């Protein structure tokens, strides 16, 4: 009641600020009225029929089932049984933002990196786009949150009210939200050039903003904006469905909230949504079918793409079933027809009408904090609603009118009533039948004349009906009917114009007949039109069960998530890698991901009922292969090549759990790997030590509590010798040394400044602590020995140099990787205590490897070094057992030595040998069962087990191949069917599977020559 009085005293915000001068007399507002006789979808779970909405000054003052007395001061609009739906709210739009605007190189109080543009306000660049606005209104949207999609931190978005006349681009809500992405956008700077770099830069800028908020004295508009944006909704645009985990990681680190703008492939993350707890905005512009004209090109379409197409419309339904409170976006649609087509498809595929409405109204309103003003048709909210001829969620409806803050815009005149039926039509005394069908808003008419003619043969009279199509137009209660009748070869044209009495369905008026004479006519409805087909729902629930999605979405993904089970390998020949050597016949029992027991001979042991018992007689059981140097399972860049020192980047941020090479390497017996940054810079990024957990999420790949590692590189790659023109320091091996000394010195100074602040007994207010510097943090970890180095290296001079630099700073280099001239200074390496991880036989691919010899690994082993054989190559990575065998050939290594080079020794180099690398009770159950001696070219893995889960099974692989062939054929047939129906298709563009190499620059995988 009090509220009501206040509203009366200060009728809304009309007088909020001084008005702009008018040219002429101020036009009166027309935003107060009563809309009656409508079906009102008040909110997702409340609908009233025959309702009335009262609106004053643009706001809803009441919504009633029956209005007893119409306010005398208000205009009444008869809704004529139309359906009123709250206007939708779009949160992901770049409407009105010029697409060609590039990030400028701003100088001044801005962040040093122009991919961070938090101060940017989209409203500054906004220009109303009438065409798109009209299309949004036809879709049913009343307000749109616009932003510029450029850069990592993209700045503010504004919520725009559509359809009001006097706004002058005035946003409904300015700085309504902030936007972020994983793409650096149009920034002209080199850094960042990869996903890992982008993430590091975003993190660094968040830390800088924190520091600036507390200690900053100089103005910095970017950092100030970042801080302000903490209090507002923030959206993160994803490039890939798995990016949602990356956003979650930001949320944990900075204890803040984000909503994500998804990809439409959310369902392929499966049950992850049960625990993700993150607001998500999904697109529903489902992909078109592929053009299948060329069967050879169709052959190139991967199963995953086919499945994305097939499942697309099920995505909203999937999220609905998993109770994810998602928001639906029309992004990607250019026409309302497509938008509604996709809504209906999704409804057919398991979504619910209520939830569609929720996802388009309450959900976005709540996220933006405007749920008290927008989103439903309730008292005190803005009169933002759309009037349809029928329920748009069920039928192919048309938007008749749009109300925007109470301002009415008529898109299409509503029919005065449903005039369809059969009429007796009297034209100047002649009786015709008039049949009106079609839809209420677009009636179609036929005129029939029944006459009696004489049969020329029998001379008998008989009745004949002459039917003529007529053109009928109905505007309010004006009706016009025009038809041309052919009688005995003569064209007779009639034009009739009249009024409709909608209550008794009588038409009356005048017109011209075939002779051009003015005549009177009238029509009276005899029979109502029988609604048969036209009121058919726009969709029917799709009850077809289709084969489930695979996880990951790949031909070789799992249909059910892999689970740890009790696995018993019976009567295996066990290569223990311990002092026990080879157990000729024994049993290994795996439970809870660990090796639980090893029995020699045929011991007795419990077999739980659900145990997987594998008869391994005559087969070799080994521990899994560990690849010390790998670049598989990474996405969008392996090198942050923008700078010489980039240890702030973490490969863990870019794990790609859908890389088919993970599966292929499991098929080659690999169970763990160090995913290294590339070799583009002297100090590269932080490694990810992972297990090949095919069928798991990217954040499940890293090994828990693994030691910290970083990639260093020496030689031609960091000098950029083979990459054309380069002007980055260093250009020589001499310069490389200085980069190290400089970096380590800076790290020590940083640490000193930081610890001086922390250890001081009283916080000295005059001394400002250093801002968190992610690069220096990592460098200090390195120089203090906490983070271990794997260093890409070839020639002996530089290897010697790095050991000296490390010694002078009092730490040790952990591993030299590649280390092709290791044999030349194995004695010095032994003294320093560094290990070696090398290729078996590569050489001659560039100048610095001309002295590489395949006896290297064996000779270093003989010198007492811990030596591993690595791949640095997605193909060779699946044959590391064979590469190990080459050390027997070239350097005379024993089989045991050779085998350890791809198992125990890399475990040692990675300081993981306490849990991997041998078959011992208590160690991780990372096991491979081979057909025969794995050092033979004829050996093949039968099973590969990671953490107690069977992730490769040779027999199942064969079955999957058959299944996928059938599945492909099924979906392709479906697709062909679809394109026959006239649905548009698109040509197939296949992203070729490139591979990351040490020297791959940028975010795209390389198809170029690997220079390692």
Partner 1 sequence: MKTIIYTFLVLLVSVNGYGQKKYNKILVEGATVHIGNGNVISTGSVGIENGIITLVKNTLAYTYDKSDWDTVITLNGHHLYPGFVAPNSTLGLTEIDAVRASRDFQEMGTFNPHVRAQIAYNCESDVIETVRTNGVLMIQTTPRGGRISGQSSLMASSCWNWEDGTIKADDGVHIDWPSAYTRKWGDPITKTNETYEEQKRELIAYLKYAKVSAGNKDKNTPLQYSAMSDCFNGEKRFYFHADEVQQINDILDLISELDIKFPVIVGGYESYLVAERLKIKNVPVMIGRLHSLPRHDDDAFDLPYKLPFLLQQAGVQFCLQNEGDMEAMNARNLPFLAGTAMSYGLTEEEAIRSITLSACEIMGISKNYGTIEVGKKAVLYGSTGSALEMKSNQASLLLINGIFVPTTNFQTELYKKYKTKYGK
Which of positions 862-901 make contact with partner 1 (CB under 8 A)? 862-863, 874-876, 878-879, 882-883, 885-886, 888-889, 891, 895, 898
Residues 550/556/559/562 CA torsion (nearest 10 deg): -120
Q: How far is the CB of 622 from partner 1 (least distance, A)?
A: 15
Which 582-601 positions form the footprint of partner 1 (CB under 8 A)? Answer: none
Q: How far is the CB of 733 from partner 1 (least distance, A)?
A: 17
Q: At what angle do helices 195-215 and 774-783 cross, to 10 degrees?
A: 100
Which one of 26-34, 63-71, 728-736, 992-1000 is the stretch in contact with partner 1 (CB under 8 A)? Answer: 992-1000
Q: Could you give the strand order of the β-sheet that contains 688-691, starting from the edge strand earlier in sequence?
A: 625-630, 670-675, 688-691
Token pair of 249 as six digits: 């990681």
DSSP-derived letter for residue 579 is T
Give, in order, the Cα–Cα distances in Å from 300 to each of 382, 393, 864, 987, 994: 52, 38, 50, 12, 15
Which one of 452-460, 483-491, 687-695, 838-846 is the stretch in contact with partner 1 (CB under 8 A)? Answer: 838-846
Which 462-481 positions form the footprint of partner 1 (CB under 8 A)? Answer: none
Token pair of 831 as six digits: 């003294």
Q: How far is the CB of 940 from partner 1 (least distance, A)?
A: 7
Which 179-208 positions form the footprint of partner 1 (CB under 8 A)? Answer: none
Q: Which CB sits closer to partner 1, 59 or 664?
A: 664
Q: How far is the CB of 642 from partner 1 (least distance, A)?
A: 19
Token pair of 726 as six digits: 């380069």
Q: Which CB sits closer to partner 1, 159 or 662?
A: 662
Which one of 473-481, 617-625, 693-701, 981-989 is the stretch in contact with partner 1 (CB under 8 A)? Answer: 981-989
Q: Which CB sits closer to partner 1, 402 or 935?
A: 935
Q: How far is the CB of 149 from partner 1 (least distance, A)?
A: 22
Q: How far is the CB of 935 from partner 1 (least distance, A)?
A: 5
Q: How far is the CB of 646 from partner 1 (least distance, A)?
A: 23
Distance between CA atoms of residues 224 and 218, nearest Å = 11
At 993, which helix (H) or strand (E)?
none
Task: Spell out, one character per residue from 804 to 833, where the chain touches partner 1: x when CB under 8 A holds, - when not.
Answer: -------------------xx-xx------
- The 10 Å CB-count burial string (b at 16+, else e) for 49-83 is eebbbbbbbbbbbebbeebeeeeeeeeebebbbbb
Which 340-369 positions form the footprint of partner 1 (CB under 8 A)? Answer: none
The pairing of beta strand 385-388 with beta strand 399-404: antiparallel
Which 631-670 positions form the footprint of partner 1 (CB under 8 A)? Answer: 660-661, 663-664, 667
Which residue of 847, 914, 969, 977 would you call a contact of partner 1, by CB under 8 A? 847
Residues 714/719/723/724 CA torsion (nearest 10 deg): -170
Which 262-301 positions form the footprint of partner 1 (CB under 8 A)? Answer: 294, 296-297, 299-300
Q: Which CB sits closer to partner 1, 342 or 693?
A: 693
Distance between CA atoms of residues 563 and 730, nearest Å = 49
Q: How far is the CB of 447 from partner 1 (least distance, A)?
A: 53
Q: Which CB sits closer to partner 1, 983 or 1008?
A: 1008
The alpha-helical segments, DSSP class H, found in 216-352 are 221-228, 243-254, 273-276, 295-300, 303-311, 315-321, 336-348
CB 562 within 8 A of CB 696: yes
Q: How far is the CB of 720 from partner 1 (least distance, A)?
A: 12
Q: Which CB sits closer to partner 1, 728 or 889?
A: 889
Distance between CA atoms of residues 315 and 280, nearest Å = 12
Q: Which CB sits closer to partner 1, 183 or 381?
A: 183
Q: How far is the CB of 689 from partner 1 (least distance, A)?
A: 24
Which 722-751 positions form the footprint of partner 1 (CB under 8 A)? Answer: 722
Which residue of 259, 472, 689, 859 would you call a contact of partner 1, by CB under 8 A? 859
Rg (alpha carbons) of the chain, rounded to whole number:
37
Q: Which CB sits closer to partner 1, 85 or 820?
A: 820
Q: Could you give the strand order of the β-sheet that contains 259-261, starting from the edge strand earlier in sequence?
A: 88-93, 141-146, 153-161, 173-181, 234-237, 259-261, 280-283, 327-329
Q: Which CB sits closer to partner 1, 171 or 624?
A: 624
Q: How far is the CB of 962 from partner 1 (least distance, A)?
A: 11
Token pair of 66 as six digits: 């029956």
Three-state SS at 732:
coil
Which 537-556 positions form the footprint of partner 1 (CB under 8 A)? Answer: 554-556
Residue 855 interacting with partner 1 (CB under 8 A)? yes
Q: Which CB sits closer to partner 1, 452 or 938?
A: 938
Give, in order, the Cα–Cα distances in Å from 59 to each of 63, 173, 341, 863: 11, 17, 31, 85
Distance between CA atoms of residues 549 and 751, nearest Å = 50
Q: Residue 574's closest CA among 519, 627, 632, 620?
A: 620
Q: How far is the CB of 416 from partner 1 (least distance, A)?
A: 54
Q: Which CB sits closer to partner 1, 212 or 550?
A: 550
Q: Which CB sits closer to partner 1, 506 or 888?
A: 888
CB 244 within 8 A of CB 252: no
Give, in order, the Cα–Cα distances in Å from 1005 to each of 194, 632, 663, 872: 11, 11, 18, 14
Which residue of 535, 961, 966, 977 would you call a contact of partner 1, by CB under 8 A? 961
Q: Which CB sits closer to partner 1, 423 or 556?
A: 556
Q: How far is the CB of 663 from partner 1 (least distance, A)?
A: 7
Q: How far is the CB of 714 from partner 1 (least distance, A)?
A: 16
CA 364 to chain centre: 18
Three-state SS at 140:
coil
DSSP-derived letter for residue 907 is H
Q: Which CB sits closer to partner 1, 254 or 890?
A: 890
Task: Spell out, one character per residue from 49 to 88, where the chain touches partner 1: x when CB under 8 A holds, - when not.
Answer: ----------------------------------------
Which 681-720 positions form the footprint of partner 1 (CB under 8 A)? Answer: 716
Q: Which CB sits closer to partner 1, 84 or 666?
A: 666
Three-state SS at 755:
helix
Q: Which CB sits closer to partner 1, 276 or 867?
A: 867
Count of residues interacting with partner 1 (CB under 8 A) = 78
Distance between CA atoms of residues 602 and 563, nearest Å = 27
Report the first-to-last Cα separation within the chain, whole angstroms: 76
Q: How far is the CB of 924 from partner 1 (least distance, A)?
A: 24
Which residue of 236, 842, 943, 996 would you call a contact of partner 1, by CB under 8 A? 842
Which 96-155 positions form the footprint of partner 1 (CB under 8 A)? Answer: none
Query: Given the structure tokens 């052959």, which residue do they identify?
Result: 299
Q: How far is the CB of 894 from partner 1 (least distance, A)?
A: 10
How many CA atoms lie within 13 Å of 588's alpha carbon, on the beta-carbon side?
34
Distance between CA atoms of residues 272 and 37, nearest Å = 46
Q: Which CB sits closer to partner 1, 355 or 661?
A: 661
Which 299-318 positions form the footprint of partner 1 (CB under 8 A)? Answer: 299-300, 302-304
CA 553 to chain centre: 14
Q: Which CB sits closer to partner 1, 355 or 659?
A: 659
Which 920-959 positions form the footprint of partner 1 (CB under 8 A)? Answer: 935-940, 957
């Amino acid at each position: 009641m009090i509220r009501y009085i206040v509203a009366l005293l200060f009728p809304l915000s009309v007088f909020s600020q001084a008005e702009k001068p008018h040219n002429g007399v101020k036009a009166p507002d027309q935003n107060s009225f009563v809309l009656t006789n409508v079906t009102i979808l008040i909110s997702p779970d409340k609908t009233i029929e025959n309702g009335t909405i009262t609106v004053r000054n643009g706001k809803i003052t009441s919504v009633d089932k029956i209005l007893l007395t119409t306010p005398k001061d208000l205009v009444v609009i008869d809704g004529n049984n139309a359906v009123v739906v709250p206007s939708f709210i779009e949160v992901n739009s770049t409407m009105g933002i010029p697409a060609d605007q590039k990030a400028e190189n701003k100088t001044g109080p801005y962040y040093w990196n122009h991919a961070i543009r938090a101060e940017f306000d989209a409203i500054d660049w906004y220009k109303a786009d009438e065409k798109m606005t009209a299309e949004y209104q036809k879709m049913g949207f009343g307000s749109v949150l616009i932003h510029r999609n450029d850069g990592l931190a993209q700045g503010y978005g504004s919520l725009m009210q559509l359809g009001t006349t006097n706004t002058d681009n005035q946003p409904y809500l300015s700085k309504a939200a902030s936007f972020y992405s994983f793409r650096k956008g149009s920034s002209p700077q080199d850094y960042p050039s990869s996903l890992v770099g982008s993430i590091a830069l975003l993190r660094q800028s968040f830390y800088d903003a924190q520091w600036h908020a507390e200690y900053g004295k100089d103005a910095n508009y970017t950092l100030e904006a970042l801080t302000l944006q903490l209090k507002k909704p923030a959206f993160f645009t994803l490039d890939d469905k798995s990016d949602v985990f990356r956003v979650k990681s930001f949320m944990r680190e900075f204890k803040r909230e984000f909503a994500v703008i998804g990809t439409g492939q959310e369902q392929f993350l499966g049950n992850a949504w049960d625990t993700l707890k993150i607001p998500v905005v999904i697109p529903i512009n489902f992909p078109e079918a592929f053009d299948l004209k060329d069967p050879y090109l169709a052959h190139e379409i991967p199963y995953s793409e086919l499945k994305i197409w097939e499942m697309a419309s099920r995505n909203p339904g999937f999220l609905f079933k998993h109770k994810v409170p998602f928001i639906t976006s029309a992004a990607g649609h250019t026409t309302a027809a497509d938008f509604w087509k996709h809504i209906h498809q999704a409804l057919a595929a398991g979504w619910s009408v209520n939830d569609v409405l929720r996802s388009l109204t309450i959900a976005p309103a709540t996220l933006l904090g405007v749920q008290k003003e927008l989103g439903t048709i309730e008292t005190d909210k803005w009169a933002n609603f759309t009037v349809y001829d029928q329920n748009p969620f069920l039928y192919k409806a048309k938007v008749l009118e749009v109300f925007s803050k109470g301002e009415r815009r008529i898109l299409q005149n509503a029919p005065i009533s449903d005039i369809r039926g059969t009429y007796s039509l009297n034209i100047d005394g002649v009786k015709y039948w008039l049949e009106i069908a079609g839809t209420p808003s677009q009636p179609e008419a036929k005129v029939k004349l029944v006459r009696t003619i004489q049969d020329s043969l029998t001379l008998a009279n008989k009745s004949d009906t002459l039917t003529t199509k007529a053109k009928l137009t109905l505007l309010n209660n004006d009706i016009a009917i025009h038809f041309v009748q052919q009688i005995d070869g003569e064209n007779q044209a009639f034009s009739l114009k009249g009024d409709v009495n909608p209550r008794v369905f009588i038409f009356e008026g005048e017109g011209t007949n075939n002779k051009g004479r003015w005549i009177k006519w009238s029509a009276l409805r005899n029979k109502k039109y029988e609604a048969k087909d036209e009121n058919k729902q726009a969709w029917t629930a799709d009850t077809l069960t289709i084969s489930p999605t695979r996880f990951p979405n790949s031909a070789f993904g799992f249909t059910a998530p892999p689970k740890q089970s009790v696995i018993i390998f019976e009567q295996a020949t066990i290569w223990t890698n311990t002092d026990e050597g080879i157990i000729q016949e024994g049993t290994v029992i795996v439970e809870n991901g660990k090796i639980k027991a090893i029995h020699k001979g045929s011991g007795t042991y419990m077999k739980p009922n659900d145990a997987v018992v594998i008869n391994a007689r005559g087969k070799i059981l080994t521990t899994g292969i560990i690849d010390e140097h790998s670049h598989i399972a990474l996405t969008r860049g392996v090198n942050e090549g923008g700078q010489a020192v980039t240890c702030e980047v973490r490969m863990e941020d870019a794990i790609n759990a859908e890389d088919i090479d993970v599966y292929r390497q499991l098929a080659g017996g690999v169970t763990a790997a160090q995913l290294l940054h590339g070799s583009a810079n002297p100090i590269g990024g932080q490694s990810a030590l992972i297990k090949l957990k095919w069928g798991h999420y990217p954040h499940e790949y890293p090994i828990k509590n693994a030691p910290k590692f970083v990639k260093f590189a020496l030689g031609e790659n960091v000098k950029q010798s083979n990459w054309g023109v380069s002007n980055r320091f260093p250009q020589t091996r001499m310069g490389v040394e200085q980069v190290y000394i400089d970096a380590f010195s800076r790290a020590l100074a940083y640490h000193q400044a930081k610890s001086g602040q922390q250890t001081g007994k009283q916080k000295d207010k005059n001394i400002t602590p250093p801002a968190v510097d992610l690069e220096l943090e990592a460098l200090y970890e390195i120089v203090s020995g906490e983070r271990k180095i794997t260093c890409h290296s070839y020639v002996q001079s530089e290897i010697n140099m790095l050991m000296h630099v490390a010694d002078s700073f009092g730490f040790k280099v952990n591993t030299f990787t590649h280390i092709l001239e290791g044999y030349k200074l194995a004695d010095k390496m032994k003294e320093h205590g560094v290990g070696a991880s090398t290729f078996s036989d590569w050489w001659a691919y560039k100048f610095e490897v001309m002295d590489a010899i395949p006896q290297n690994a064996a000779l270093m082993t003989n010198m007492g070094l811990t030596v591993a054989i690595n791949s640095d190559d997605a193909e060779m990575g699946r044959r590391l057992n064979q590469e190990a065998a080459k050390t027997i050939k070239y350097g005379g290594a024993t089989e045991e030595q050779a085998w350890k080079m791809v198992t125990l020794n890399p475990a040692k180099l990675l300081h993981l040998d306490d849990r991997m690398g041998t078959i011992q009770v208590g160690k991780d159950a990372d096991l491979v069962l081979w057909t025969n001696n794995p050092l033979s070219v004829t050996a093949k893995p039968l099973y590969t087990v990671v953490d107690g889960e069977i992730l490769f099974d040779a027999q199942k692989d064969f079955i999957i191949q058959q299944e996928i062939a059938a599945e492909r054929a099924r979906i392709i047939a479906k697709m062909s069917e679809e394109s026959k129906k006239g649905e548009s298709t698109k040509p197939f563009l296949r992203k070729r599977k490139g591979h990351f190499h040490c020297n791959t620059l940028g975010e795209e995988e390389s198809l170029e020559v690997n220079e390692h």
